[in-house]
């Protein structure tokens, strides 16, 4: 029974990754990140002005378990673009600084005084996704 | 609980020839940053390089080690440029 539930959740997560060009799995929401690493990741994405889907993994520990099973990546946040794991906060920051993240997302690297994404305010670029949680 | 020296030793033992600079970023033995230079990273993507480090601490990241921030760099082997 529990196997069936976890497979169902895993399939649902895989579908979300597949269906959303840019999707961030994070702790909290883009408007209210619950961890510094998630906050930095959101700031970077917002500063690039690319629309992205965001999934809060905190409401149910099984979300993180199943996500890790898919990605084989132990930590949160996790950014996927075109169905592929790009990385967590460290890789996102490094790729942001080199301009590779903008390239991966197909956007222009912002110029000027907005170089510090940690200072960027949340903009309405994100589209929070609610995981349908009917697994209780 | 882990400490800076344990993390450094484990990375350098797992990747012979690597150098790991590890700091405890929050002073709480829970949040670490490791800057790792290793010859084994040559030709790998960032994801693959980070996975090599993650595997050393399999099952501990997010748990007993709340956070390990990683920066990777390829160790150029001497004479490689010739």
Q: Which domains does chain A possess?
A: 2-107 (3.40.30.10)
Find all residues with CB under 8 Å of A61, minimum gap 6, and list them.
Answer: none
- Residue pLDDT, tens place only, A75-116: 999 999 999 999 999 999 999 999 999 999 999 988 755 555
Asked if the bond preceding A68 is cis, omega within 30° of 0, the reply is: no
- Residue pLDDT, tens place only, A11-65: 999 999 999 999 999 999 999 999 999 999 999 999 999 999 999 999 999 999 9
Per-residue pLDDT of chain B (82 residues; tens, 9 = 90+): 578 999 999 999 999 999 999 999 988 888 899 999 999 999 999 999 999 999 999 888 877 888 899 999 998 866 544 4
CB-based contact B61 A75, cutoff 8 Å: yes
- Number of domains forming the structure of chain B: 1
Angle, in degrees to the nearest 10, between helices A36-48 and A89-98: 30
CATH number of the domain encompassing residue B42: 3.30.300.90
Rounded to whole angstroms, how far apart are CA atoms A73 and A127? 23
Domain span including residue B60: 4-74
Taking a C-beta distance cutoff of 8 angstroms, is the pair B43, B50 a contact? no
Which of the residues B26, B34, B67 would you substitute to probe the A interface, choosing the one with the greatest number of A C-beta atoms within 10 Å? B67
Interface ipTM > 0.90: no
Q: Is residue B60 part of a domain?
A: yes
Rounded to whole angstroms, how far apart are CA atoms A52 and A79? 10
**In DSSP terms, which residues pair with A55 in a beta bridge?**
A25
Q: Is residue B64 part of a domain?
A: yes
CB-based contact A75 B69, cutoff 8 Å: no
Taking a C-beta distance cutoff of 8 angstroms, is the pair A66, A4 a contact? no
Q: Is residue B79 part of a domain?
A: no
Q: Which residues of A touch B69 (CB under 8 A)?
A: 89-90
Q: Which residues of B touch A86 (CB under 8 A)?
A: 47
Nearest to A90 among B61, B62, B69 (CB): B69
Taking a C-beta distance cutoff of 8 angstroms, is the pair A47, A117 a contact? yes
Q: Is residue B34 part of a domain?
A: yes
CB-based contact A74 B54, cutoff 8 Å: yes
């Amino acid at each position: 029974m529990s196997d069936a539930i976890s497979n169902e959740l895993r399939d649902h997560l895989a579908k979300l990754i597949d269906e959303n060009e840019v999707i961030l799995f994070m702790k909290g929401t883009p408007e209210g990140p619950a961890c510094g690493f998630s906050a930095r990741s959101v700031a970077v994405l917002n500063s690039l002005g690319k629309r992205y889907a965001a999934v809060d993994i905190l409401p149910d520990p099984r979300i993180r378990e199943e996500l890790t099973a898919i990605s084989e990546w132990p930590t949160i946040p996790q950014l996927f673009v075109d169905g592929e794991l790009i990385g967590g906060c460290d890789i996102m920051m490094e790729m942001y600084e080199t301009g590779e993240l903008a390239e991966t997302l197909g956007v222009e690297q912002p110029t000027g005084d907005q170089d510090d994404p940690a200072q960027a305010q949340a903009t309405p670029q994100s589209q929070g996704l609610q995981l349908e949680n009917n697994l209780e | 609980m882990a400490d800076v020296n344990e993390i450094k030793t484990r990375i350098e033992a797992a990747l012979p020839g690597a150098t790991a600079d590890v700091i405890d970023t929050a002073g709480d033995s829970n949040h670490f940053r490791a800057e790792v230079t290793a010859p084994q990273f040559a030709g790998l993507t960032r994801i693959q390089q980070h996975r090599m480090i993650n595997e050393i601490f399999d099952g501990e990241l997010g748990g007993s080690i709340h956070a390990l921030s990683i920066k990777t760099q390829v160790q150029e082997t001497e004479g490689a440029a010739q």
